Amino acid sequence: MRKATSVLAEFAAETRYDDIPEEVIHETKRLFLDTIGCIIAGSVTEKGRLVRDVMAKLGGRPESTVIGEGSRRRNRTSCTNAAFVNAEFGNALDLDETFLFLAHLGSIVVPASLAISEVKRSGGKDVIAAIALGYEIACRVSLSTGIAKTGSDYRPSFAPSIFSASVSAGRLLELDKAQMQNDIGTAGFFAPLPGFVKYSKHLDVPMIKSDPYGWIAQGGVTAALLAKNGYTGYLDILDGENGFWKMQGYSSCDYDLMLGGLGKKWWMRRLSYKPYPCCRVFHAALDALYQIKREENLDSNRIESITVRLPHSISRFNNSNPRTPIETEFSLPHAISAAAIGLGLTDWNTSKTMNDERVKRLRKKVRVITDPSLGEVMRYDTNYAGWPSSIEVRSGGVTHKEARTSAKGEQANNERTMDDSDLREKFGVFTGP
């Protein structure tokens, strides 16, 4: 039986653009547009400014562009630094796409691919193929190690995201199969610790969030550059009883998920997009709230209480007093309040909104309740990956109820997916003046 690392390296190095199904090519282009919009939007945040300032001090050969800062020479830096900065921008607002509930791969694979594509002067088809292949391999490794868990043991697998960066960068560097295998073997050692373990137990949310997106993108690009220059990594990084899954602290590895249908079944067709700049877990409840607002013409000043039920929750989701713009992204009371008041999406996560007296008052009226009867936290199959939610809004002595099994933009929701026009509209909203 062939080893998984070898199989995936061959797939990454030898799959041609024309081998990739047209619907996957189209989805990759959608992902590209959405991620660029997220990067531009994130570039003007406080987190974005801090990252940009540090990288400017580090300097570097002006070979790749820092997006959101124009195309002048001073906004160009080394390919590794550019990958770092743009990845940090991409996830700054938590506006980027999700693959199931495992990872935000777009903010890693797109910056990595763009950074190398400028160095190599790659064509559009080469970039799209690199993104598609990097995304697909990271999906498969994530699935194999992040088997569905419910309740307090739920833990997504973000570390495999680094393979999206290393594979896409390696592809654009034209690595052969042997070099790609070393690239993957090195990237596995550059992968971050399972940060969700720490992140999930903290009420506060620092800028690093659950994972170091900049480092993951930079690490993947670095692994590819090293492999191109002859550097060697573990050729069996994904294989056996001491493989990547064991290094990351998981109890098992499902190689059928990692390799099954390779080249025929493309998992990236199952990614989901975000219409709102906040944790994906909140989106079904927000959809339900907007439905109530449309039907009942709610006046936020008359709201007496709001109760949101989730199938699973962690303490920060119920944080009614976020202290930083980053924390507002993970505060359900804040997101619900901003939406109920009718604030524009680009205003949700600003310091001004965080300290707005109307928002502060309404946040105190929002309760988040864990209700296991709503269903599983996550199901790893090709048909469903929702986070069911219900909401009750009491206003003027009347209680309005609404529920959702999934949110707009989720791959589970074929009726209300975000189509091409939705993504273009989102891009315009978050990149406009």
Query: Which CATH number goes with the domain that contains 43?
Result: 1.10.4100.10
In whole angstroms, what is the distance from residue 391 CA to residue 386 CA? Answer: 16
Q: 256-261 contacts: CB < 8 A, separation 24 or more? A: 257/140, 257/143, 257/144, 257/380, 258/4, 258/8, 258/140, 258/141, 258/143, 258/144, 259/4, 259/7, 259/8, 259/140
Listed residue (312, 308, 296) closest to 397, CA to CA = 296
Together in a domain, 294 and 268 = no
Range of the domain at 241: 4-272
Distance, CA of 385 to CA of 379 (rounded, Å):
6
What pLDDT is attached to residue 12?
99
Give me the amino acid identity at 186.
T
* Total domains in the fold of the chain: 2
Beta-strand (E) ranges in 84-153?
98-99
Residue type for position 208:
I
Same domain, 129 and 161: yes
- Shared domain for 193 and 55, answered yes or no, is yes
Q: With beta carbons less than 8 A apart as the criterion, state whether 238 and 10 touch.
A: no
* Residues 334 and 263 occupy one common structural domain: no
Q: List Cβ<8 Å contacts ≥24 apart for 199-206.
A: 200/155, 200/314, 201/314, 201/315, 202/315, 202/316, 203/315, 203/316, 203/319, 204/316, 204/323, 204/327, 205/316, 205/324, 205/326, 205/327, 205/329, 205/330, 206/326
> In 3D, which of 210, 212, 229, 216 has the Cα closest to residue 134?
216
- Given 248, 272, 296, the domain boundary residue is 272
Residue 423 lies inside a defined structural domain of this protein:
no
Quick check: is 426 in a domain? no
Same domain, 237 and 355: no
Tokens of 74: 């001073």
CB-based burial, 215-245: b 16+ in 10 Å, e otherwise: bbbbbbbbbbbbbbeebebbbbbbbeeebbb
Start-to-end Cα distance in the chain = 56
Q: For residues 268 and 292, state if they share a domain.
A: no
Per residue of the chain (433 residues), give pLDDT as tens.
Answer: 579 999 999 999 999 999 999 999 999 999 999 999 999 999 999 999 999 999 999 989 999 999 986 545 568 999 999 999 999 999 999 999 998 767 899 999 999 999 999 999 999 999 999 999 999 999 999 989 865 443 445 556 689 999 999 999 999 999 999 999 999 999 999 999 888 778 877 778 999 998 999 999 999 999 999 999 999 999 999 999 999 999 988 888 999 999 999 999 999 888 899 999 999 999 999 999 999 999 999 999 999 999 999 987 667 789 999 999 999 999 999 999 999 999 999 999 999 999 999 999 999 999 999 888 776 544 444 445 567 899 999 999 999 999 998 899 987 656 668 999 999 999 999 999 8
At 397, which CATH number?
A: 3.30.1330.120
Regarding whether 298 and 182 lie in a shared domain, the answer is no
211 & 104 share domain: yes
Instruction: From residue 225, give the alpha-carbon distance in Å to each of 115, 292, 401.
Output: 12, 52, 54
Residue 71: predicted pLDDT: 45
Does 175 share its domain with 198?
yes
Answer whether 215's CB lies under 8 Å from 192's CB: yes
Q: Give a yes or no: residue 427 inside a domain.
A: no
Of the candidates 272, 297, 318, which is a domain's last residue? 272
For residue 25, how many other CB atoms are within 10 A of its CB? 17
Q: Do 249 and 299 reside in the same domain of the chain? A: no
If asked whether residues 292 and 249 sit together in one domain, one would say no
Q: Answer whether residue 124 is part of any domain.
A: yes
Q: How far apart are CA 307 and CA 287, in angstroms?
A: 14
**Which pLDDT score, from 0 to 100, does residue 406 have?**
86
User: Residue 162 corresponds to which tokens in the numbers above?
Assistant: 């680094």
Is residue 115 in some structural domain? yes
In a domain, 51, yes or no: yes
Is 79 found in the same domain as 13?
A: yes
The pLDDT assigned to 247 comes to 92
Neighbours of 316 (CB within 10 A): 20
Residue 166 domain flag: yes
pTM of the model: 0.94
